[in-house]
Each structure stands twice: as structure tokens, then as C-alpha cells.
Amino acid sequence: MSDPRVKPCLDPARAAGDEPDSPSGGETIGDVIARRYNRRDIVKGALGVSAVAALFGTTALAGCGADEAVETDPKTFTPNGFAFKEVKAGVDGTHHVADGYEAQCLLRWGDPIVGGAPDFDPYRQTAGAQNRQFGYNNDYVAYFPMDDSGAFIEGARARDGNERGLLCVNHEYALAPMMFPGVEQPGGDVDFASIKDWMVDVEMAAVGVTIVEIERDGDAWRVVTDSPYNRRITANTPMTVDGPVTDEDAGGGLERLKTTYDETGKDLRGTFANCAGGRTPWGTYLTAEENFQYAFYTDETDWEGMPALGEQHHANRDRFRAYGIPTKGYVWGRDYARFNLDKQPNEPNRFGWIVEIDPFDPKSKPVKHTALGRFLHEGAETVLSDDNRVVVFSGDDSKFEHVYRFVSDGTYKPGDKQANMTLLSKGTLSAAKFNDDGTGAWIALKCGEGKLAADEDFARQADVVIDARLAAKDAGATKMDRPEDVQPNTKTKRVYVMLTNNTSRTPDHPKVAANPRANNRYGHIIEIVPDGLDFGADTFQWKILVLCGDPNRPSLETNWNPATSEDGWFVTPDNAAVDNQGRLWVATDQGANWPSTMRADGLYALETDSEGGPTPHLFFRVPVGAELCGPCFTPNGETLFVAVQHPGTDGVKNFHESDESDESSGGHRSSRTDASQEGKPFDASAPVSFENPATRWPDFKAGMPPRPSVVAITRKGGGKIGG
């Protein structure tokens, strides 16, 4: 989700932003905006009130915990404003939350989640212990309300499930230099030989998903460690698969998933690179496999010593390269043959899917749904169409990739979980086409139809979904600037696309000279309005909601409301959510580029309907080197869960801070001395590591590394988050 480092990655998930440009041609969103709008019109404000309104639309997002019981007319609904004193922008070693709110660290990496699990000891880690502890680098968070019997509260009754529920949390990637002592980084590059075999096993146990029961205990939340629902799902968990790849009547495709240890192609093993996700109306969890390519490499190397494709991979060369394979973010392939392309060339085809997990059935086997396509899924936000079909939105988080939508063939039947759990097996996968005139369409990716009809590489639907990236380009979908969360709002029937950035779309890129964001370093947000306000409609209108960046820099051509404070503006939108009042909240991820803004990432409340344009307010700020992920509300909007990922890690070279604390940090000192190893201050000139982190948030104990954590935010004295 974050920006990459050019050299072999400390963080395997970050390099998606540094992939080469799309392997095929195709129209970019920059080309579309270039033709639709004149640069001078935007920068100088010459469009006039009505034209500006047409260009920069308003409304809000749907997200985790939205109160579906409140009836609204999407044609007239206007979200309320916010009422809190925003946090001061800046960067230091701890978190900060708006005045009047409490931020409780609910789950930390290594916390026991089942009875009998050992307490976390960073110097005595084992895979066995990690399998019973909270995983590393938490990302997407979903809350499932429970009734007194422990059952999922479905539909409108969910508004009553605010005291007890299941929390599902993704764990995107492992980071050996920050997880283990003794991992060497000569010259700033990881020495993979110093990553021991036991570390690999811990890494594979630390990724995936955590499911825990939580309950309200007075003014705070607690984990119910003896709950029968608690479990870890890891890179080794048995899984199954369905959809077009398994449909023999349509030509099948299981031969592309078969391995020497699985001759059926159906006995899949593990999930990792779990970025964002979604919740289904019937109470299951969708986890999105994003940067899976970093697990795969070969024994062949190029002149730089990086993995390369040998002659035996010639037939699949374009397919591998379309997904950034091979590379070397992990050394799992050194220890396990399934991650070495030379030994298991089909293994990458078993990742990059949306995985459905039933958190209320601990014995159930997760299912990878091939009908939703294989790409670097950021999320899987799920709503219903007007005729009760299931609609799933997802972005492919890489430069010049696409926005996707899946619509089920069958319809949702409230109360019939068994039937509903087949809905993601059959349907139509589409990719978005943004037209010059502000209209758009979802292009169905079906073998034998449209532009795919003439392509022999897509003679079967199985090949279309396995190679969805290539199919979307052939079909003419618009190439986007790193699409991340794609968030629908059931109150307004709008859909919002978070576009993080795209520095490869330079001024030299074709048809970009007249585009206001030729070098889109700081990202933007697009609003989609489906025709008829039906999520199942195949056509839509689109508008730009926000062009992000510092409004004090005219060259960035931002479009914030003039009322935006110095602390309020943001860059690189990543995740998003709406509360039960229909208000938009945006989480940011600058990666290692935060020094260019001199502000840490955080969660921003965005007033989308304020007169004069969108007005952002900083509500929560993460520690230095971290990003904010997975904002999620309880149904009543009185608890907000957020995930703080990779604290003390990104962009911290030459980081210095003062020794200070304030009420917004809960009284935590943020100095480097307090966050030191045996009293030694952070050495900003040396590589960041387990022994040398920029902060030891959230424990602030000597010898304890920084720990990615889920934070529960509540309002002092009770009440809705944001006012």
C-alpha cells in the first residue's frame, strides 16, 4: 500500500508503486482528464460555479459499520458536518487523537488471542507461538456484531450489536529487519542470508488474518481470549477454490493451478499479502490478496543479482511480468519449493484472489473466488444492487492499473446463509472505462465477447480471470493512478475511488501536457454516480472530488475548500470508510515520502458537501514511519477501529524530534530516548531495524520493537465519533 524503495525492498508490500508501467497500451485516466478539462480552467478558477460543481462533485462513502436501519433518499441525502477540534499536523514517535477522545491500543503484534498462548517475547519467537498470537502489520479491519447467543446480527438489527462482536483483521506482510534481531542490512539493503529458517516460519505465521471476539467492558474494549471463534489464518492454512477456473462445463482451467503437491488444483494452501477487504450482508469476511508477487522468485538472476525468468518460463513470460513476477521480497522460496518458480511455476496462479472466510464457523475452509478476478486486489467492498444482486468493488493497486466490479448472477436472500455463500461463485467481472464527457461504463470481461472475442489467449473464462490484468487492458479499460479502496455509499448511492499517486505519469507522458496533475505525486479521489443510482447499472457518471496536496503550493493544482486549515489537507488517499451518518473518512499512506510534506499519515474527516468544496479535518495521526489502515465503525458510530501499520519504519532516515507529549497523545512521550534500546537514542543515519527503530510505539519499553496495532477510539463520556 505504501510507496516503494528502489533497491531490494525492506518492505515487500511497498514495491507495488514502483512496478514498471503497464505491459500493454491503453488509455490512462490522465488522458481522459486532459481532454475533458482545460488546465487553466482548474488552476485559475475560470470554470464558474456550475462548471466547478460539475467537475468536483460531492457526497460520501459507505463503509464498515454503516447503519442500514436509517432510511434515506439517496437523491436528497446530505451528510452532516463534523464537530471536533482537529489534531495538529506534524510527526513524532507516537499517535495523536482529537481532543475529547480516547485511543485504546486493543491488539498489538504478538498479543495472545487464544487461551494458553504465550505472552509475546520478541527474542524467543516461534511459528507455533505466532500461530496463536495477533499477526504482524495489521491492515483492513471489519467488525461483525453478535447477539447474546454468539450469532451474527444480520440486516437492520445490526444497529443493536455495539457491545460484542467479532473483529477480523488482515496482516499484509512481514518485515524481517523490524521483527527479528540480527537481520543485517549492509549499505541499507537487506542481507537475505541473515534471515534464518526459523524467521521464515514466523513470517509465514505472522501474515494472513486474525479473527477475535471482542466485547465492551465499561469504557473500554477487551479481547475474549477464551472465545471459540478466535483463530489465525496464515500462509499455510488449507483453502479451496471455486468459480470459472473450476467450471469444467466452460472449459475449466484447473491445470493452471495444479502443482506437484496438488494434482487436483483445488487444494490451495494459505493466504498472504492481505491488504483491504470487505464484509458480506450474510456475515462473512472478504480478504483481498494484493502484493503476492513478492513471495516468488527463481534460481536465475540478472546482472543486478535479482531473480530473472529462465528459458523454461518463456511461454509464461508475459503473464508473469504482468504481475511483477519474479522478484525477491521474501526468501520463502529458499526454504519452500512452492515459492520458487523453477520448481512450482503454477503457484503464483493460486494467489491474487478475493478470499471468503466465515468468522462464525471456525471449522470452515476459506474459499478463493476466481469469478472476482486475479490481480493485486486492494479491497472488496460489498453492496447490493436494486434487484438484490451482490456487487463487489475492487481496485488493482499499481500504477496504470484498473478499477473492477463484480456483479453476482444470483440474488441475496436474507437469512439463508448457505445459499448466499454461493453468490460469489458466478457472476460478471467488469473493468471501468472513464469517457471524456464525464460518462463511463463497466466493460464486461467475458471470453468470446467484445474485444476479447478475437484474442485466443482468452478462449476460456478461466484464462480471463487468471490474467484479469491483461484482459482488462485488451478490453479497453482506463488505466488509473494506483486505485486503492473503491468505496460505495448505500445512503447516497455514490462510489468513491481512492487513487494514491502515479509519479510515472510525467509531463513527458502522451496527452498529459494539458492535464492538471501530469506528475500525480499526491493522488486524488474520483466519485462515480451509477445511472439510476443503482450499483448494478452498467453505466455511470464520474467527477473529480479531490485533487490532493498542499494548497499553499499553486503548482500542485489542488482544489481544497478555502476554509481548509493548515493541519487539514492531506495527500495519497488509501483506505476510506463512512460512519452511520454517511460521512466520509479517508486514511492516508505516504510511504517513505512523508518528509516531502513533513506530516505523518493519519485519518481525515472529509466534509464532501461543504460550500466552496471539500473540507478535510485531521482526526487521528499515526507515529513516525507508520500508515493508517482499515478505519471501521461499530453500527452506532460510537467506536472507531483503526490499524496502525509499520510504525517507526518508513522514511525515517535523518528523522529527529523533540521530547514532548500532550493530551492528544494520551500523555505518551514521543522522544527518541523514550523509544530507545537500553537508553540509546535512534541513530537516524543508520538503517532502521529491530535494534534501531525510530520509535518503540506503542509500548515505549527498552528492547521492545515497535508493534503494529489496532486502536479502538471512543468519545469521552460517550457519543458518536466526529460529533
Q: How confident is the model at residue 681 (pLDDT cuts 50, 70, 90)?
A: confident
Q: Which of 17-21, 330-334, 641-645 has the lowest mean pLDDT?
A: 17-21
Residue with cell 454468539: 150
639-645: strand order across its sheet: 101-108, 709-715, 639-645, 627-633
Dist CA 500 CA 494 (whole Å): 19
CB atoms near residue 71 (< 10 Å): 8
Tens digits of residue pLDDT in 72-108? 799 899 888 999 999 999 999 999 999 999 999 999 9
Residue of 626, 628, 664 whose CA lies nearest to 648: 626
Residue 326 has pLDDT above 90, yes or no: yes
pLDDT at 11: 47
Residue 299 has pLDDT above 80, yes or no: yes
pLDDT at 509: 66
CB atoms near residue 555 (< 10 Å): 9
Residue 33, φ and ψ in degrees, nearest 5: -65, -35
- The CA-CA-CA angle for residues 542, 529, 36, to 5°, reads 15
pLDDT at 247: 95
Q: Which three cell numbers stand for residue 70?
A: 436509517
Q: What integer is the mean pLDDT of 356-364?
A: 98
Q: How confident is the model at residue 447 (pLDDT cuts 50, 70, 90)?
A: very high
Q: What integer is the mean pLDDT of 357-380?
A: 98
Dist CA 244 CA 372 (whole Å): 10
Residue of 267, 326, 321, 273 whose CA lies nearest to 297: 326
Tens digits of residue pLDDT in 166-219? 999 999 999 999 999 999 999 889 999 999 999 999 999 999 999 999 999 999
pLDDT at 517: 72
pLDDT at 306: 84
Q: What integer is the mean pLDDT of 39-64?
A: 37
For the chain, domain boundaries: 16-290+352-715
Dist CA 28 CA 434 (whole Å): 9
Q: How confident is the model at residue 16 (pLDDT cuts 50, 70, 90)?
A: very low
- Highest mean predicted confidence (pLDDT) among 15-29, 295-309, 423-437: 423-437
Residue with cell 477475535: 212
Tens digits of residue pLDDT in 390-430? 999 999 999 999 999 999 999 999 999 999 999 999 999 99
pLDDT at 514: 26
pLDDT at 675: 41
Percentage, residues of the chain above pLDDT 90: 75
DSSP 504-533: TS-TTSTT-TT-TTSSBSS-EEEEEEEGGG
Q: How confident is the model at residue 25 (pLDDT cuts 50, 70, 90)?
A: low
pLDDT, mean over the chain = 89
Looking from the CA of 556 toward its CB, the CA atoms found within 13 Å total: 21
pLDDT at 37: 54
Residue 512 has pLDDT above 70, yes or no: no
Q: How confident is the model at residue 26 (pLDDT cuts 50, 70, 90)?
A: low
Residue 52 has pLDDT above 50, yes or no: no
Residue 338 identity (one-letter amino acid) = R
Using DSSP bridges, classify how beta strands 439-444 and 639-645 pair: parallel, antiparallel or unpaired.
unpaired
The separation between CA 174 and the C-alpha centre of its own chain, rounded to angstroms, equals 15
Q: What integer is the mean pLDDT of 344-358?
A: 98
Q: How confident is the model at residue 658 (pLDDT cuts 50, 70, 90)?
A: low
- Contact of 551 with 517, CB cutoff 8 Å: no
For the whole model, what pTM was predicted? 0.92
| Radius of gyration of the chain from its Cα atoms, rounded to whole angstroms | 24
Tens digits of residue pLDDT in 221-236? 999 999 999 999 999 9
Name which residue leads in pLDDT, 555 or 108.
108
pLDDT at 15: 42
- Contact of 698 with 678, CB cutoff 8 Å: no
Residue 62, φ and ψ in degrees, nearest 5: -95, 150
pLDDT at 217: 93
- Contact of 600 with 593, CB cutoff 8 Å: no
Residue 40 has pLDDT above 50, yes or no: no
Indicate the burial class of 52 (C-beta count within 10 angstroms; 0-12, 13-18, 19 or more).
middle
- Contact of 461 with 428, CB cutoff 8 Å: no
- Contact of 488 with 61, CB cutoff 8 Å: yes
Tens digits of residue pLDDT in 572-628? 999 999 899 989 999 999 999 999 999 999 999 999 888 888 999 999 999 999 999
Torsion sign (Cα): 338, 339, 344, 345: positive
pLDDT at 710: 99
pLDDT at 330: 96
Residue 311, φ and ψ in degrees, nearest 5: -60, -30
Convert 373-384 to b/e letters by CB count within 10 Å (16 or more is b).
bbbbbbbbbbbb
